[in-house]
Amino acid sequence: EAAVTQSPRNKVAVTGGKVTLSCNQTNNHNNMYWYRQDTGHGLRLIHYSYGAGSTEKGDIPDGYKASRPSQENFSLILELATPSQTSVYFCASGMGQSQNTLYFGAGTRLSVL
Amino acid sequence: GDSVTQTEGQVALSEEDFLTIHCNYSASGYPALFWYVQYPGEGPQFLFRASRDKEKGSSRGFEATYNKEATSFHLQKASVQESDSAVYYCALSANTGNYKYVFGAGTRLKVIA
């Protein structure tokens, strides 16, 4: 069974602080993705990666960085968190072909106060 | 850029009612089309996909047909159950080599027993 694990599941941060969201997959998938979920917007792509060492900007990358140090791990970094980044964040992995499905983690609920 | 539009933000039905959730897309090339379902507290999970014109995807009584001319992939189910209450996302993956997945805003389905 494909497995994507996110940590932490819940996070409260202060404005201006640094936040790191972590994602681990045991599927041996090449591609990994970070989405944020907001009411009325659905899932919006922040960053994605084709493999270890690669990161690509998605549709809403401003204010976020990503890091892919290995096939299994993909992190999302908020260097200076702002209240507008309060959201639910989902990590996903996929084989890397357009017809393949994505496997999502359970999400991280982030509140920036 | 590529986009997915889901007309209904929320749908409320009674058990055994017929369900239609509308999905229209805009994309270059010939995208793969997907439906995902998200239950409370979980990440989205794959429901089914279609990859070519007139192909029907189906799973768990849900179905949708790829209509290239109308650029649509409407989700239908003949008789909904309370357990179908969830958020449904239409998505596409364009065959342009970057393997980005674009999601619609989601439709929240509530089925009343």
Q: CA B111 to CA B12: how far, in whole Å? A: 6
What per-residue confidence (pLDDT) applies to A107? 97
Is the CB of residue B72 less than 8 Å away from at least one CB of chain A?
A: no
- Calculate what percentage of chain A has a pLDDT beyond 70: 95
pLDDT band at B97 (very low <50, low <70, confident <90, very high): low
Asked if A45 and B100 come within 8 Å (Cβ–Cβ), the reply is yes
Residue B96 has pLDDT above 70, yes or no: no
For residue B28, which phi and psi values (nearest 5 degrees)? Answer: -80, 155
Q: Which of B35, B38, B99 to mutate to test the interface with A (most CBs of A within 10 A)?
A: B99
Asked if A102 and B41 come within 8 Å (Cβ–Cβ), the reply is no
Q: What is the mean pLDDT of residues A58-86?
A: 97
Q: CA A25 to CA A4: how far, in whole Å? A: 4
What per-residue confidence (pLDDT) applies to A41? 87
Query: CB atoms < 10 A from the CB of B81, how many?
Result: 13
**Residue whose C-alpha is closest to residue B107's, from B12, B2, B1, B18:** B12
Q: pLDDT by residue (tens digit) across B12-66?
A: 999 999 999 999 999 987 899 999 999 999 999 999 999 999 999 999 999 999 9
pLDDT band at A16 (very low <50, low <70, confident <90, very high): very high
Asked if B43 and A97 come within 8 Å (Cβ–Cβ), the reply is no
Per CB-CB distance under 8 Å, the chain A contacts of B49 are 99, 101
Phi-psi region of B22 (alpha: psi -120 to 50; beta: other; left: phi over 0): beta
CB B113 within 8 A of CB B82: yes
Residue A57 has pLDDT above 80, yes or no: yes
Residue A99 has pLDDT above 80, yes or no: no
Asked if A92 and B43 come within 8 Å (Cβ–Cβ), the reply is yes
Asked if B51 and A99 come within 8 Å (Cβ–Cβ), the reply is yes
Size of interface A-B (CB pairs under 8 A): 64
Higher pLDDT, residue B95 or B83: B83
Is the CB of residue B41 less than 8 Å away from at least one CB of chain A?
A: yes
CB B10 within 8 A of CB B63: no
Q: pLDDT by residue (tens digit) across B55-85?
A: 999 999 999 999 999 999 999 999 999 999 9
b vs e for B34-43, b when ≥16 Cβ sit within 10 Å of the residue's Cβ?
bbbbbeeeeb
Residue B95 has pLDDT above 80, yes or no: no
Q: Which of A1, A31, A101 to mutate to test the interface with B (most CBs of B within 10 A)?
A: A101
Q: What is the mean pLDDT of residues A77-96?
A: 95
Average pLDDT, chain A: 94
Per CB-CB distance under 8 Å, the chain B contacts of A108 are none
Sign of the CA dihedral with A104 first, then A110, B1, and B4 last: positive
Q: What is the mean pLDDT of residues A14-30?
A: 96
